[in-house]
Amino acid sequence: MSDIRKPESSAGVSRPLVIAGPCSAESREQLLSTAVAVAEAGVKIFRAGLWKPRTKPGGFEGVGAAGLEWLREVREQTGMKILTEVATPSHIEQVMKINPDLLWIGARTTTDPFAVQAIADALKGIPIPILVKNPLSAEIDLWSGAVERLSNAGVASIGLIHRGFSTYEHKSYRNAPLWHIPMEMKRRFPSISLLCDPSHMGGSRALIAPICQQAMDLMYDGLMIETHINPNEALSDKAQQITPAELKLILQNLIIRENSKEIEGIGAFRSEIDELDDELLKVLSRRMQISKEIGEYKKQHNIPVFQKERYGEIIQSALLKAKDMGLDEEFVRSIIEAIHRESVRIQLPPGGLNVI
Ligand code: PEP
Ligand code: MN
């Protein structure tokens, strides 16, 4: 459908495309009451999980096919489009009985190329838009691979949902955003629509609004927000679901900044940045040339490539200067480390093990 694959998000006046609804369909009553309130908040597309992939056994695994009729009723009563998650060809076969308007593939499924291929094969000849969530791990090729598998199977309308990436340590986000990964997906697939799922990314109600705003400022096309008529009683993802009234407020308060002719005002700054970036590259190239010559010298005189003291000095002196120059220490440390790593790499013999 054209609303999922748009030529240019910034050209559209309809940002954000909003999908809302509960994490899981729990009962007919819960689904319909949530749907009526969500439609009242202005939402046009309704989500609900029927088959719930749970990381650990024992949790609520969804009502399955029993919820199909309820979803159909939602569409009939509210006029909203409906979608659910599919993870197997059997889910697709069952859900097609109610002709959903869209489908989504969950993060756990995107992680598994066999599962994605099975879904792609099952979708052959079915003209339905598919939204692909990012995989659990920060492996961009799994995400773009899923898009390619679907596209190769003839799925004409594909969108992306960025829901963040699992990390071993749990910090303020449930799933680390790693915003550069969806940005790279936009570079690989310029015409694909990109939605943000602040619910699974943030994992808590307080983070929904700021993440939505950030996604809008990064020119995302849409948002998928878990919304429940009574979040405190939700059978899954309780901490991150918001009420329809909260959803309405968040959407009303979003500031949508579109590109306008004022963008011309930053042209001069951009030229200066381009020049500085060129200079940075020239300096890096000169630095690596010298590293190469040092490497030759070390080789001739049997000196080891890695010099611990020298590395410590370089980092310490850069951090001191960074402070004076008002630069963030962690930022400078990561740049110096990357430069040093590259210097060591080019000094190691070709084909040798790079142990750094
Ligand atoms: C969901 O949307 O309810 C869900 C299970 O999400 P994810 O695949 O992002 O974990
Ligand atoms: Mn959920």
- Where exactly are the structural domains of the chain? 17-258, 265-347
pLDDT number for residue 355: 45
Homologous superfamily (CATH) of 265-347 is: Chorismate mutase (1.20.59.10)
In this structure, the strands spanning 45-47 and 193-196 are unpaired
Q: Helix, strand or coil for residue 130?
A: strand
pLDDT bin (cut points 50, 70, 90) of residue 132 is: very high
pLDDT number for residue 352: 54
Unique residue bearing structure tokens 């799994």? 142
pTM of the predicted structure, to 2 decimals: 0.82
Does residue 1 surpass a pLDDT of 70?
A: no
93-118 per-position pLDDT tens digit: 999 999 999 999 999 999 999 999 99
Say how far apart CA 327 and CA 335 lie, in whole Å: 12
String of DSSP letters for 10-26: GG-S-PPEEEEE-SB--
Average pLDDT for the chain: 92
Does residue 282 surpass a pLDDT of 90?
A: yes
310-356 per-position pLDDT tens digit: 888 989 999 999 989 999 999 999 999 999 899 988 988 776 554 44
Say how far apart CA 167 and CA 262 lie, in whole Å: 39
Average confidence (pLDDT) over 286-305 = 91
Average confidence (pLDDT) over 8-37 = 86
Q: Whose CA is closest to 230, among 33, 96, 67?
A: 33
DSSP state for residue 190 in the 8-state scheme: T
Does residue 5 surpass a pLDDT of 50?
A: no
Residue 264's CB: how many other CB atoms inside 10 A? 8
CA of 124 to the centre of ligand 1 (A): 24
Say how far apart CA 50 and CA 42 lie, in whole Å: 23
CA of 262 to the centre of ligand 1 (A): 38
Residue 8's CB: how many other CB atoms inside 10 A? 11
pLDDT bin (cut points 50, 70, 90) of residue 304 is: confident
CA of 197 to the centre of ligand 1 (A): 9
Residue in 83, 108, 196, 235 to alter for ligand 1 test, most ligand atoms within 8 A of Cβ? 108
Does residue 199 surpass a pLDDT of 50?
A: yes
Q: Whose CA is closest to 24, among 63, 76, 56, 73?
A: 63
How is domain 17-258 classified at the CATH fold level?
Answer: TIM Barrel (3.20.20)
Average confidence (pLDDT) over 201-211 = 98
Q: Which atom of ligand 1 is nearest to the CA of 109?
A: 8
Does residue 43 surpass a pLDDT of 90?
A: yes
For ligand 1, atom 9, which residue shows the shortest CA distance? 107
pLDDT bin (cut points 50, 70, 90) of residue 78 is: very high
pLDDT number for residue 287: 94
pLDDT number for residue 354: 46
Q: Which atom of ligand 1 is nearest to the CA of 49?
A: 3
